Amino acid sequence: MTTRPRRAAVAALLTCALAVPLLGAAPASASQQAHAQTQYSVPGTRSTSAPELPRPAGPHPVGRRTLHLVDRHRTDPWVPTARGRELLVSVSYPARRTGAGSPAAYVTADEARLLLEARGLTGVVPAETLAGTRTHARVGAAPARGRFPLVLLSPGFGMPRTTLTSLADDLASRGYVVAAVDHAYESLATEFPGGRVMPCVACEKVDGRAEFAGVVRGRTADLSFVIDELTDRRRTGALARMIDPRRIGAAGHSIGGATAAATMAADRRVRAGADLDGNFFVDDAGAGIGERPFLMLGAESVHSPGGDITDWDGAWSRLHGWKRWLTVDGAGHFSFTDFPWLGDRLGLPTDPEAPLSGERSWHITRDYVAAFFELHLRGVPQPLLDGPTASRPEVEFHRP
């Protein structure tokens, strides 16, 4: 049974309890499930065929490798009896040739079942339909020759790394090694090796800003550990040889965006960071980043300057280098993940409070995040980041 602290904590984090019909962080109650069954029961509106993620825009085929990393020198903050801090990392990378290897799965059957259960969609969308979602990455594809920037991705609280798959694969197609990280006991639907689906212990324990700040600190240590592992040729071999350790970035959705900022502040190896609609949760957000570049991209309804949530205003004042504060009209909290795209293709209705289509949400997220890293990890000029454009009228630039 979902506890009141858990519901309150998740609601505070996501800022909107019904952000996107497909998924949210908290499991649905019996009444919510009944409502979902009624809401989505209109004949002919749903698809039972497996959807396909958006095609990456870059020139490279995409390879995928999954790593189970364990930091034996740390105690897990949620389960102290665990043997170290476990992480599951999907690494998307530029591959040598198209068609090599086998198709990479989106989620396992158990992960799909748990994600659908979390939003009361059991019986509305078959688990096998979501599990069959087609990606554009191939497991076992030979890495492309050369050295590439590394980008770390951290998902929202309660969410698995797979929610950022489209972004990871798109960046990889453009010539980045991308590590999407699952943090143990912080996701409702992550299957670790051996078929272990770890419960979201953090979801039951976190209640309030101070605890969310603790989540950020723990994830910051996670990302630094991932950098250590991925850049160690003795540990990851061919992947490490692909990575240029002088060009590392971090981004994340929701609390994952706060993690990107905190990792920059704590780890000088991270040269650029982006927050996708995440509150920062720490009082000194932005401090320690100095003159390194940072992008804040969020929903207009929540993250406009001078709104009810003020930590973006505070962080902005502490960023002393290149910075952008962009909001997207019509976006919701999950608009910067795979969910709106999948929801559209599964025939689920659009959230009236976040009417931006899945396709439009995806193109905006992809274009601005890719432009940011192209500019700051490759030095390629990006006029898109200079100001508003007629082709993207939903995006507003703020310079408070």
pLDDT (tens digit per residue) in 35-58: 333 343 333 355 578 999 999 999
Q: Which two tokens stand for residue 395?
A: 């995006």
Residue 46 is predicted with a pLDDT of: 57
- Torsion angles phi and psi, residue 194, rounded to 5: 85, 10
Contact in structure between 324 and 397 (CB atoms under 8 Å): yes
Say how far apart CA 379 and CA 16 lie, in whole Å: 37
What percent of the chain has pLDDT above 90? 80
Q: Where are the beta strands (DSSP E) in 120-169?
A: 137-139, 148-154
What pLDDT score was predicted for residue 289? 97
To the nearest 10 degrees (0 to 180), the angle between helices 4-14 and 209-230 is 70
- Comparing CA positions, the residue from 110, 109, 114, 92 lying closest to residue 26 is 114
Q: Where are the beta strands (DSSP E) in the chain?
A: 62-71, 85-94, 102-103, 137-139, 148-154, 177-183, 191-192, 196-197, 243-253, 270-276, 294-299, 323-328, 395-398
For 219-265, what is each residue's pLDDT tens digit? 999 999 999 999 999 999 999 999 999 999 999 999 999 999 999 99
For the chain, domains (ranges, CATH) are: 4-398 (3.40.50.1820)
Share of the chain above pLDDT 70, in %: 88
Average pLDDT over residues 157-171: 98
Least confident of 20-24, 60-64, 75-79, 219-223: 20-24
Q: Indicate the residue type of 318.
A: R
63 forms bridges with which residues in the sheet?
93, 138
For 192-204, what is the mean pLDDT?
Answer: 93
* Contact present, 184 and 68 (Cβ < 8 Å): no
* Sign of the CA dihedral with 214 first, then 220, 221, and 223 last: positive
Instruction: Tell me the pLDDT tens digit for each residue of 272-314.
Output: 999 999 999 998 999 999 999 999 999 999 999 988 888 999 9
Section 80-84 average pLDDT: 95
Quote the tokens at residue 355.
């009417």
Work out the pLDDT band at 107, boundaries 50, 70, 90: very high
Tell me the angle at which helices 165-173 and 358-378 cross, rounded to the nearest 10 degrees.
50
Q: How far apart are CA 8 and CA 110, in angstroms?
A: 26
User: How far is it, in rounded angstroms, from Cα 33 to Cα 393?
Assistant: 36
